[in-house]
Amino acid sequence: MAAALQTLGGGIGITLHWIAFTPTIEQQATEEQKKKWLKLAQDVAIVGAYAQTEMGHGTFVRGLETTATYDPSTQEFVINSPTLTSTKWWPGGLGKTANHATVMAQLYTRGKCYGPHNFMVQIRSLENHQPCPGVTLGDIGPKMESNGNDNGFARFDHVRIPRENMLMKFARVEADGTYVQPPSSKLAYSNMVYLRGTFVMSAAQALASATTIAVRYSCVRRQSEMKPGEPEPQILEYQTQQYKLFPQLAAAYAFWFASWFMTQQHGSITGSMEKGDMSGLAELHALSAGLKSYTTAVTARGIDVCRMACGGHGYSHASGLPALFGGAAALCTAEGENTVMMLQTARYLVKCFAQSQAGKRLTGTVAYLSAVQPSPVAGNRNMSDLGTLVAAFQHRAARMVRHAAMQMQGEMQKGKAREDAWNSCSVLLIKAAEAHVHSFVVRNFAETVQTVEVDESVRAVLTSLCQLYSLYGITEHAGDFLKDGYLTGRDIDAASSHLSAMLARVRPDAVALVDAFDLHDKILRSVLGRYDGRVYEHLYEWAKKSPLNKSEVHESYYKYLQPFLKSNRAKL
Ligand SMILES: CC/C=C\C/C=C\C/C=C\C/C=C\C/C=C\C/C=C\CCCCC(=O)SCCNC(=O)CCNC(=O)[C@H](O)C(C)(C)COP(=O)(O)OP(=O)(O)OC[C@H]1O[C@@H](n2cnc3c(N)ncnc32)[C@H](O)[C@@H]1OP(=O)(O)O
Ligand SMILES: Cc1cc2nc3c(=O)[nH]c(=O)nc-3n(C[C@H](O)[C@H](O)[C@H](O)COP(=O)(O)OP(=O)(O)OC[C@H]3O[C@@H](n4cnc5c(N)ncnc54)[C@H](O)[C@@H]3O)c2cc1C
């Protein structure tokens, strides 16, 4: 039943119940509270939404307006939407599906505000699904994609909930209204860190889906003449088609491996946090924010490249690519808008750079910032060697982080306030953070292909894919590598020619590489990407099912076209 609910469409939004509501109980509820709600959620005996974003605030969580005011006389919290902009807006499933929600609200007790905290609120009757007293609910209307999900709105008019409905694993309010501080105020944000981490796998899956569709179709589709008089070739024989698709295919593998690292990091750091060691939280936040931002942005762009590589049929919903693009585009905004998330990573990098300048040896994903020499040693580098490629990306990132941080220091030395200096350097900071995440993805890709337990012939293919991904990154961002002479023009030319060689080397394995994602036709939902390659027959069958084909002459002819034609003919 639960699995069936996961796939429900048509106005029923159960996704957020699984990926946000239930994990919030797991991560933010006490053991007592878990006994009350966790099994109900896991068995879908209740359906929940994660209600944080409001009409007026999504990014700035500290600016949320919904209030939860403690009343010690009744030992209840009063949940209220004081303004129109405080209306909860966007949460998946909130409109029509959920009967419970974890509501993020500003906690007030004894007249003082303690910032955003999570509260469990029943929003619909378990008997007749009507909104509970004081709760106004609805759907926010059609969106770019995912219109099967009822992203909704909610307003609360002084809704009373028991004190025990505050999720109190970290912070709590005692019966007399005393607020007990959490080990870190950011623990209330822990489910967002978790969800951002899962977006890395969502991005990998989405890009894997798109490249599966486009590569398979590019083997079915024959078009034009490569040589006069010869049969039309598969469009995947064109180098330009390979240049479009293979870097996206390589990125799908890179992001898949990055998500393995993210999952492992999340487990290990949250494990330490359970024992009271918060030291890894900052790195976990910076990594999840940066990887989420980087992988979803590259994925959305990459899916559109795949769509365009499939010509007109790519633009049809029969391809599955427009829906994938719409979904991936959502990942760029949801769970932390990409710009804001990359700035969070930049904030961490600037902090680490300052520590490194003060002599601290850096560790983890920023260790390279301490190790990389500022003065590059140019020379003929072996641009097909993975170690050389990784070092190039780390040098580029270290240079850009140093440059952004020094620019900011310079602005402050001119008398600017730190916040103004930050804002006036934020484009540089974003680019430096992107370079940092890019270097992490390349390094992790290289380390994974060198250590993963596979047959040596498979390792050889994965190594080519990693070289292709890295060489593509260098040629696409050549200026960054040339800027301080770390790479020379000859190096960039060598990178370009190696990239061409990699395109040709990956070509024979392209179909096997997408088949390895093992995405069933039912998941791909694409006529172009069918495993059996029978595109044209199924494209015709798909089109015949279009609602417009239910009648030979559509009613619009009689309503609009016929009178219009008649009146025009009468004027002749
Ligand atoms: C096989 C299948 C094939 C394909 C299928 C796959 C994919 C298909 C395609 C797509 C999917 C389909 C459809 C898509 C549809 C929908 C997508 C699905 C689900 C959507 C779920 C979305 C749910 C949500 O959006 S929930 C709401 C999310 N909201 C946010 O994320 C808000 C973002 N804002 C914030 O987090 C914070 O406000 C902030 C971090 C920006 C700022 O916080 P704050 O102001 O408090 O802090 P600062 O002042 O900036 O910093 C102070 C210090 O705190 C540190 N900090 C900040 N945050 C954290 C944290 N979380 N953890 C730890 N530390 C943190 C910060 O670093 C500062 O530290 P310092 O030491 O002082 O520097
Ligand atoms: C499909 C979908 C599903 C969603 N599901 C949920 C859900 O289930 N639950 C939930 O609570 N929310 C959900 N959301 C809401 C989502 O979390 C927010 O839309 C997101 O956090 C962005 O916030 P915002 O919409 O207020 O955009 P804003 O923050 O207003 O962003 C607008 C622009 O302002 C810029 N900006 C904002 N702050 C800064 C800054 N400090 N520095 C530089 N630029 C800045 C941004 O970069 C962006 O370009 C969903 C959204 C979508 C699209």
3 pLDDT more than 60: no
Burial of 312 (0-12, 13-18, 19+ CB in 10 A): exposed
Active site residues: 335
103 pLDDT more than 70: yes
The Cα-based distances of 396 to 367, 480, 551 in angstroms read 14, 6, 61
Q: State the closest ligand 2 atom to the C-alpha of 50, by its place in the atom list counted from 1.
A: 9
109 forms beta bridges with: 112
Q: Which residue has the CA at smallest separation from atom 12 of ligand 1?
A: 327
94 lines ligand 2 (CB under 6 A): no
Q: How far apart are CA 200 and CA 193, in angstroms?
A: 11
**Amino acid found at 147:** N
Confidence label for 378 from pLDDT (cuts 50, 70 and 90): low
Q: How many CB atoms lie within 10 A of CB 515?
A: 13
Cα(295) to centroid of ligand 1, in Å? Answer: 14
pLDDT tens digit string along 48-74?
Answer: 999 999 999 999 999 999 999 999 999
27 pLDDT more than 90: yes
Q: How far apart are CA 203 and CA 284, in angstroms?
A: 18
Nearest alpha carbon to residue 120 among 1, 11, 26: 26
Q: How far apart are CA 103 and CA 88, in angstroms?
A: 9
Kindly calculate the radius of gyration of the chain based on its CA atoms and give it in whole angstroms.
27
The Cα-based distances of 14 to 21, 39, 136, 265, 343 in angstroms read 10, 16, 20, 27, 31
Of 187-196, 357-366, 524-533, the range with the lowest mean pLDDT is 187-196
Confidence label for 5 from pLDDT (cuts 50, 70 and 90): very low
- Can you tell me the mean pLDDT for 148-167? 97
Helix axes 281-309, 321-333, angle to 10 degrees: 150
- Can you tell me the mean pLDDT for 499-506? 98
Q: Tokens 């940066």 correspond to what residue?
A: 290
Token pair recorded at residue 518: 């093992």
- Can you tell me the mean pLDDT for 207-224? 98
Q: State the closest ligand 2 atom to the C-alpha of 335, by its place in the atom list counted from 1.
A: 17
Q: State the closest ligand 2 atom to the C-alpha of 339, by its place in the atom list counted from 1.
A: 47
**Closest ligand to Cα 525:** 1
Q: How far apart are CA 100 and CA 107, in angstroms?
A: 19
Whether pTM exceeds 0.80: yes
Cα(19) to centroid of ligand 1, in Å? Answer: 14
pLDDT tens digit string along 445-491?
Answer: 999 999 999 999 999 999 999 999 999 999 999 999 999 999 999 99
pLDDT tens digit string along 335-355?
Answer: 999 999 999 999 999 999 999
Q: Identify whether the C-beta of residue 401 lies closer than 8 Å to the C-beta of residue 432.
A: yes
58 lines ligand 2 (CB under 6 A): yes
In the structure, which protein residues have their CB atom closer than 6 angstroms to any atom of ligand 1? Answer: 15-16, 20, 50, 52-53, 58-62, 92, 146, 186, 189, 192-193, 202, 205-206, 209, 281-282, 285, 324, 327-328, 330-331, 334-336, 340, 344, 347-348, 351, 519, 523
Q: Where are the beta strands (DSSP E) in 176-235?
A: 179-180
**Closest ligand to Cα 328:** 1
Q: Of 106, 189, 211, which is best to mutate to test ligand 1, by the most ligand atoms within 8 angstroms of its C-beta? A: 189
